[in-house]
Amino acid sequence: MERERKMSREVIVCKDISKTFDTARGPVHVIDKVSLSVRENELLVLFGPGQCGKSTMINCMSGLEPVSSGSVEVSGRLVTKPGPDRGVVYQRMALFPWLTVMGNVEYGPKVRGVPKKERRERAQHYINLVGLDGFENSYPNQLSGGMQQRVGIARAYCNEPDVLFMDEPFGHLDAQTRYLMQEDLMKIWEKEKRTIVFVTNNIEEAVYLADRIIVMRNCPTSIKTEYEIKLPRPRDYVDPEFLRYREEISAVVDKAL
Amino acid sequence: MINRFHKGAKSYEKTICAAIAIFAFLCIWQLVVSFTKAGMVLAGPVETFAAFFKAIVSPIGTHTIEGHILWSLSRVLVGFVLGSLAGIVLGILMGWFRPISALFRPIFELLRPIPPIAWIPLSIVWFGLGESSKYFLIFYSAFCAVTMNAYSGVRSVDAELMGAAKMLGASNRQVFTSIVLPSCIPQIFAGLQIAVGTSWATVVAAEMVRSSEGVGWVIIKGQDSNSTVQILVGIVAIGIIGYILAVTMRAVEARLCRWSVRGK
């Protein structure tokens, strides 16, 4: 009951957001009147083919890019610029290569003035959570792709934002590592629930992770349809119900060129 | 670990190859000098190195060879340190503030193709025959190389990293100090490497034009007294010190930029 009530609180509210880029070849309309809301501790997957502007969605929702029209609210506050109440995990990791794992994870609390002892403890907690204990003093270029993205996840978690945006975080990983990361992300999320908006173009990943999947249309991005995934966790990639969802969603997705 | 071992094995092979190549070069040099007419205008390696080691204890002119080297190095040190510091500051300012780059970049684009030694006559007119004109020349050569590198280092900072830092709560000032400055260190070092090379070349040229000590002076005095041995002693000294400077810079860079691909 408690969880049901909390789940119903809407943490992210997007109202009619549109985004147009002015380019040398004229304006390009990337997002077309998208309205959506994300409930507290929900894992929402934005799923769509190819380059359909999903990353731009994340940039607009996180405040990195201004919207052309419409509005985004996180925890009731209007999003206009980047801010630490929103965390982002990037496809290209975007780790600070001159900082160690510890340095990267504690970066957020550090720039926000959290005392050293406290932020070290907090960073250590999240480093342990993502399974990187023992690698605190390694530099990112000494780690594998999967481990680097664990640092990315720990860094975002450590800032304790209201919401986490994950922009195809496993897109650059090989298939085996990708499965492992999906499983581990679920374990992390089960241990420490957060509101997550996860972007992917991989349907299996979408069904494995999501509470709810929003299927996006291609260029300009708009909402096509959405699915609640009511499967128990941990999910099984070859469970008949899993495959049924997979098939059903595949059928409605635009084919990417 | 496997990687490191592999790298170690490679550098060991490299050292052997380098030793063989240098030894072969010295042998050919000696043979040419001993058995052809070139011996009349060129001293052999045995003679050259004997003279070099002799110069360590008995002075050429007023100083021993180490004395001359120290004179040249001191000129390089003053000019290089001041020029690099000024270059780093201006380059970073140019990279961070657009109006400053709009103002200074065209000037640097014009100055860049002019070799520092082209300024020797003017520097003597402006600063006289003493140390100041040499400091000026070396300052100039280090300054140009470092400024342009620091500038392009700041310009090429990964926008995604700056975005990530802002997202994590960094202010503009914090983005500058914690993202932009460390990001451009490898490129600044690339500039310092070039600067140390051109500074060393410039000091030799400046000393050859006008000085009473330094390795450039050793060479030009060798020419005056028709002593190819002395000229070669100067050249050997320049080569050795130039090599040591480059290796030192690389070692410092590798230490400071362990995290970067360049520093590896």
The residue ranges of every structural domain in chain B are: 1-42, 43-256
Mean pLDDT for all residues in chain B: 89
Looking at the predicted structure, is the pLDDT value of residue B262 above 50?
A: no
- Alpha-carbon A206 to chain mean position: 12
pLDDT digits (tens, 9 = 90+) for B180-199: 999 999 999 999 999 999 99
Looking at the predicted structure, is the pLDDT value of residue B248 above 60?
A: yes
* Residues B192 and B146: beta-carbon distance below 8 Å: yes
Looking at the predicted structure, is the pLDDT value of residue B10 above 80?
A: no
pLDDT digits (tens, 9 = 90+) for A79-131: 999 999 999 999 999 999 999 999 999 999 999 999 999 999 999 999 999 99
Which residues 89-118 of chain A have a CB within 8 Å of chain B?
90, 92, 94, 96-99, 107-108, 111-112
Looking at the predicted structure, is the pLDDT value of residue A1 above 50?
A: no
CA distance A167 to chain B (A): 13
Q: Which chain A residues contact residue B179 at CB under 8 A?
A: 96
Looking at the predicted structure, is the pLDDT value of residue B35 above 60?
A: yes
Interface of B with A (CB under 8 A): 158, 160-161, 163-171, 174, 178-179, 182-183, 185, 257-261
Q: Which chain B residue has the Cα nearest residue A137?
A: B259
Q: Does A139 touch chain B (CB under 8 A)?
A: yes
Nearest to B170 among A81, A111, A139 (CB): A111
- Name residue B13's amino acid: E
Q: Which chain B residue has the Cα nearest residue A161?
A: B168
* Residues B142 and B201: beta-carbon distance below 8 Å: no
Three-class secondary structure of residue A197 per DSSP: strand
Contact B259/A140, CB-based, under 8 Å? yes
Mean pLDDT for all residues in chain A: 90
pLDDT at residue number B113: 87
Fold of A1-77+191-236: Rossmann fold (3.40.50)
Rounded distance, CA A98 to CA A92, Å?
16
Instruction: List the single best residue of A56, A74, A105, A111 to mutate versus B (max B Cβ within 10 A).
Output: A111
Contact B168/A141, CB-based, under 8 Å? no
Looking at the predicted structure, is the pLDDT value of residue A2 above 80?
A: no
Looking at the predicted structure, is the pLDDT value of residue A158 above 80?
A: yes
Q: How many CB atoms lie within 10 A of CB A81?
A: 9
Rounded distance, CA A32 to CA B218, Å?
76
pLDDT grade, residue B264 (50/70/90)? very low
Q: What are phi and psi of A35, to 5 degrees?
A: -120, 125
Give me the residue spans of the domains in chain A: 1-77+191-236
Q: Which chain A residue has the Cα nearest residue B180?
A: A96
pLDDT grade, residue B24 (50/70/90)? very high
Superfamily of domain B43-256: MetI-like (1.10.3720.10)
pLDDT grade, residue A3 (50/70/90)? very low
pLDDT at residue number B261: 59
Which residues 158-187 of chain A have a CB within 8 Å of chain B?
159
Torsion of CA B122, B127, B133, B137, to 10 degrees: -50
User: Mean pLDDT, to the nearest integer, of B31-59?
Assistant: 89
pLDDT grade, residue A147 (50/70/90)? very high
CA distance A157 to chain B (A): 10
pLDDT digits (tens, 9 = 90+) for B85-116: 999 999 999 999 999 999 999 998 898 889 88
pLDDT at residue number B210: 85
pLDDT grade, residue A219 (50/70/90)? confident
pLDDT at residue number A78: 93
Half-sphere exposure of A141 (CA within 13 A, CB side): 12
